[in-house]
Chains A and B, each alone.
Chain A
């Protein structure tokens, strides 16, 4: 039987208010008797830790970074959505809800998404009160811009650094609680396991990344705000340290993992330039407003270009294929992310890609410059052009940008109920770490909204419901479960150190990333996924018999840290492949080549797949068990998306 998703009864618009009234409360004097562990200090973690401490709980906050402010939320560029309707352009809570459900290709829960839209307005108030310097109009009021998947302007922003400013706001709130002694902060400390006592989450096991010490921490509840798993692909727009270890350890201790194959590939990133490439950099989607996407019309021309025999300027207009404009005359270069990404890949697969690797397409501003002048382009996109020039050494005013899709975000994650509780009582997941709000595809400017909604306005209510039913007795690490979990962590670290093989953690990570990208990336087939599954299993065996590490575990050892994360990616990768294989439909970021319309568009199967796939871990090298949470749409009618 599937665990209860705990969605409140009643009309959509009243569910959250009713639920807030129905949840049990912890009285103010008792809150100080409860300890809560929060792992991760990005938007979802810092906001949760600060808000819970403000309420009076004792919080322990953990980050593997040297400072809470380094979490990858900091790199988000575009903005944060909120249904403020400050622009008087017809926005509402319902419209934000509707756009998000539709954008997610009808694979998210109505109740969760509606709540997200409701609290979005509070987030902006909160951030402004904290001193977040959002962009403003000359009259002194807040400015908005429009973003993909919406016909209203509801995106609040701080130039191209919205994530940075929001995270620094949450970090300042967290810092204040550290100063008050309500949050104890553990930096450069990595969670390596969760401790379950009598079926409930009661603590974590950590490794101090400077000294190597393994430590036990107890609490009445544990919140995981540890981000997404995009780095399973090795190359992504995620930060280098971003990893799935905390979520995966929780999964192995009983938390279901939902929709792991729902990953978002962003179409406009700076392409890979060599084997040494360590990460990919996003170029804002806004560039497609004025840039035209093209490749050479023939394979031969593309080949000569790649060899350096001809230059891009030598290719005549009639020898260029503006493939998005050709295939999607109505939307042209502004088709949604998944469509743009998939088509760029198709061009490169046909051998018409550009750049010396052949894995890039052009994004050309020549027409915009001719039409409006270089100054106009510079005013609009100057910082992006500069960043492009810095990374590639090429001048995008003089020659077209080369772009290619890259892994950007993961919609899947730990399964949570309406309270953001996983299938393990007392274990919660917030932000990108959970699966809850974006369905099969996330809209731009919604990740920041969800992270902060979960941390500031959802978890402070819902965790109280659980704690109120937990006796306010002190928790300790005396239970044997702590010793067992610590022993397991130690054994695993020592095992990694003792393999003494020949290949580095990065070597394995790159091999895994290649498999995931080729067979579980932008386009997937049953055959390819089967192949990838076998290869991943093989790679995992090689990892555990041929890994090379040096030094010891009792000191700062970055290769060891990396190895532990790669070991978990090697398991998660297989589950992603299983999930992609079982989902015999195409929806959002999940495109199975077998399931497409005659025009090559994604073909959903609502009859058979309108559910959340939640996977249960059943043991090493054993097939995971699939549980289905049926999605019921009572307010929104399911339709097929088309962009022709």
Chain B
């Protein structure tokens, strides 16, 4: 079967891929050639082709994270030619297609680089730090049952829409990988903003931002210096405005905090 465009020419590419046996091993770049890559392939399908070849030749396939391949689960996380998720703006790695590259190209593929995201193997990294930040307060403390009717508290549409925009973060970690300080501020601010905007989130507003920021620092993410590469590289367009909201939430929480620690 050929691709959808009968005139599209297959490409031959050189891949420079980060290989690392496990968390503690020394890693390095290894060169591979891939041939007859259809421009209609997704980037991950191109890696599938490489991995099938490697496996047939008795070599270990390249480990990488992926799952939904629709740009929503946030699993895929490749640093392609020096950019998180590659050259196309507003796109996750799984939605990047090979037609964005040219025959003969050399493509460098690395894992996210951040102290808080140790490498599991090859291109797969451990992002459990994000989960621990959410566990520190990224929720509204309601048990199942006993909640009021969903229409009891009207929420202005523009507020609901802004909360939604912030809530669309997929926790891929591109913001951290793109930041020279490996800061997680955009990720944390997206959750803080979503819940600070909604009336249901107001009750725990102060403790939430304090605890989430404390956990973020504890995980070893760097500080934010407002450069904005996180928002520029975010595949789902999380706005830098959220960081301003987080800073405001944090300051007002600290100014009136009962938490003296």
Contact = CB atoms under 8 A, between A and B. Distances in A.
Interface of A: 47, 50-51, 54, 65-70, 72, 74-75, 84, 86, 122, 124-131, 133-142, 158-159, 161, 164-165, 168, 171-173, 175-176, 178-179, 185, 187, 210, 239-241, 271-279, 281, 306-308, 355-357, 387, 390-394, 402, 456-457, 460, 502, 504, 506-507, 548-551, 555-556, 558-559
A129 B200 contact: yes
Interface stretch (B52-60, B176-184, B239-247, B253-261): B52-60
Nearest to A237: B70
B6 to A, nearest CB: 4
A502 B56 contact: yes
Contacts of A128: 147, 150, 153, 200
Interface string B140-168: 11111101111101111100110110011
A70 B150 contact: no
Interface in B5-55: 5-7, 21-22, 38-42, 44-46, 48-49, 51-52, 55
B39 A393 contact: yes
A124 B68 contact: no
Contacts of A54: 143-144
Given A164-B72, A172-B139, A276 B48 contact: yes
B72 A559 contact: no
Which residue, B38, B58, B150, has most C-beta atoms of chain A within 10 A? B150
Nearest to A309: B6
In the A-B complex, the 7 residue pairs with the closest CB atoms: A140-B154, A172-B139, A129-B147, A133-B164, A51-B144, A128-B150, A133-B163
B63 interface: yes
Interface string B86-129: 00000100010101000000000000000000001100101110
A131 B192 CA distance: 11
Contacts of A124: 150
Contact of B130 (A50, A65, A67): A67
Which residue, B1, B56, B121, B124, has most C-beta atoms of chain A within 10 A? B1
Contacts of A559: 51, 55, 61
Contact of A402 (B4, B73, B155, B161): B4
A276 B3 CA distance: 10
B219 interface: no
B151 A131 contact: no
Given A140-B156, A168-B167, A172-B139, A556 B120 contact: yes
B135 interface: yes
B45 to A, nearest CB: 5
Contact of B75 (A47, A70, A178, A185): A70
Contact of B198 (A131, A158, A241, A273): A131
A125 B147 CA distance: 6
A153 to B, nearest CB: 14
B56 A74 contact: no
Given A66-B65, A135-B160, A276-B49, A74 B73 contact: yes
Contacts of A308: 6-7
A356 B135 contact: no
B61 A239 contact: no
A84 B150 contact: yes
Given A278-B42, A460-B144, A67 B95 contact: no
Contact of B6 (A75, A281, A356, A393): A356
B128 to A, nearest CB: 6
A85 to B, nearest CB: 11
Contacts of B95: 387, 390-391
A504 B154 contact: no
A274 B72 contact: no
B171 A69 contact: yes
Nearest to B134: A175
A68 B143 CA distance: 19
Nearest to A358: B1
Given A122-B145, A126-B144, A240-B66, A555 B128 contact: no
A306 to B, nearest CB: 8
Given A74-B72, A308-B6, A402-B4, A136 B155 contact: yes
Contacts of B48: 276, 278, 506
Contact of B134 (A142, A171, A279): A171
Contacts of B168: 161, 164
A129 B201 contact: no
Contacts of B155: 136, 140
B63 A75 contact: no
Contacts of B75: 65-66, 70
